[in-house]
Structure 1
């Protein structure tokens, strides 16, 4: 339950900062996060295929 509260708090802080940032900054940050998530997913799938 505490984890959920902390996650919602962090989401609120992130959404609030995005609302005040210029659109190009928000788009660049979203692109960087998206690329990071894709790289993380590819690395996880690659490591699971080779470990099992």
Structure 2
């Protein structure tokens, strides 16, 4: 569903989710994506530092 919404392949989504998980920026459980407040702050810093 994420890939369809963004207009990219599901393989690309999987690859990026795997990278985010490896970097500790997201967590997954039972096919769901979880973002803790600390992870959210890290993601926010990552996005704003690349503007």
* Structure-1-length-normalised TM-score: 0.37
Greater C-alpha radius of gyration: 1
Structure number with the higher strand fraction is 2
Higher helix share: 1
**Which structure has the higher relative contact order (CA within 8 Å, separation 6+)?**
2
